[in-house]
Amino acid sequence: MTAKTSQPDRQDRRRKGDRGDRAPSEFSEATLSVDRVTRVVKGGRRMRFRAIVVVGNRKGKVGLGTGKASEVQAAVKKAVSAAKRAMIRIPLVNGSIPHFVERKFKAARIRILPAKPGTGIIAGGALRVILDHAGVKDVLSKRYGSRNKLVNAQATMLALAKLRFSGKMTDEEKKPAESDIEILEETQAAQITEISKEELNTKYTKTGDITGQE
């Protein structure tokens, strides 16, 4: 004896094992980390899980979200929902970014530079995951300061939010920030520009940007 229902088609789907043809989502998800966090309350410590998730369509849209819950699965679900609500769109030019960008957030400093086709994603950690889900195929990057995944991910999102198409950039956006010059140390400048130490000293000692001393 089967249960009566006002929707016969629902009963047919249950019998056939078909719960409806759901279209596959255009967004891909990646979990950066799942950490156990505690909060001190009056009765003691309350333990929960914090998940950090990146969501993107690999076509210029990417989002970052965090979620906390008493179970890992619930925390990840909350993080995915938060990431989809906070998605941003970034400009892509031949699989790379249109211009140089740098952003400092808390103890992390992120630098991202455009690259030629075939270079690949020269990045690591949270920066690589976010760039991959954003659809960037060729890029150079460098991370300074904190190794915290959440802080680096937040700094990366803020840096990507500063990207503009070259034709729409204002004069202020084209000028390098003061912090760009401050962090150019000798080893970093030599790695980026690939010039010798003698040329480095001659070029930068006069301006005071780089001392040339070890």
Q: What is the CATH number of the domain that holds 66?
A: 3.30.160.20
Interaxial angle between packed helices 197-204 and 186-193, expressed in degrees from 0 to 180 and rounded to the nearest 10 = 110
Residue 155 has pLDDT above 80, yes or no: yes
Residue 170 confidence (pLDDT): 53
Query: CA-CA distance, 27 to 97, in Å (whole number)?
Result: 20
At residue 17, does pLDDT exceed 60? no
The structure's pTM equals: 0.68
Least confident of 56-70, 82-96, 144-158, 189-203: 189-203
With b for 16 or more beta-carbon neighbours within 10 A and e for fewer, the 173-187 pattern comes to eeeeeeeeeeeeebe
- Let me know how long the chain is: 214
C-alpha to C-alpha distance for 186 and 202, rounded to whole angstroms = 12
How many domains is the chain built from?
2
Question: Which residue, 38, 70, 88, sits at the end of a domain?
Answer: 88
Whether 144 and 100 have beta carbons less than 8 Å apart is answered as no
Of 88, 103, 131, at which residue does a domain stop?
Answer: 88
Residue 98 lies in a domain: no
Residue 171: pLDDT band with limits 50, 70, 90 = low
- At 45, phi and psi to the nearest 5? -110, 140
Give me the amino acid identity at 168.
Answer: K
pLDDT, averaged across the chain: 78
Residue type at 17 in one-letter notation: G
Lowest mean pLDDT of 33-42, 73-82, 98-107, 178-187, name the range: 178-187
The least confident of 142-151, 162-171, 192-201 is 192-201
Is 75 in contact with 48 (CB distance < 8 Å)?
yes
157 within domain boundaries: no
- Model pLDDT, residue 188: 38
Range of the domain at 66: 28-88
Is residue 59 in some structural domain? yes
* In-domain check, residue 52: yes
Mean pLDDT over 69-97 rounds to 94
Q: What is the pLDDT of residue 26?
A: 83
In a domain? residue 126:
no
Query: What is the pLDDT confidence band of residue 21, given thresholds at 50, 70 and 90?
Result: low
Report the C-alpha gap between 50 and 66 in whole angstroms.
7
3-state SS class at 180: helix
Q: How confident is the model at residue 178 (pLDDT cuts 50, 70, 90)?
A: very low
Say if 208 falls within a structural domain: yes
Kindly state whether residue 197 falls inside one of the protein's structural domains.
yes
User: What is the pLDDT, as a whole number, of residue 164?
Assistant: 87
Domain end: 88, 114, 132, which one? Answer: 88
Question: What digits encode the pLDDT tens for the residues 31-68?
Answer: 999 999 999 998 899 999 999 999 999 999 999 999 99
Residue 80 placed within a domain: yes
Interacting residues of 106 by C-beta distance below 8 A, sequence separation 6+: 146, 151, 154, 155
Sheet holding 61-69, edge to edge: 28-41, 44-56, 61-69, 88-89
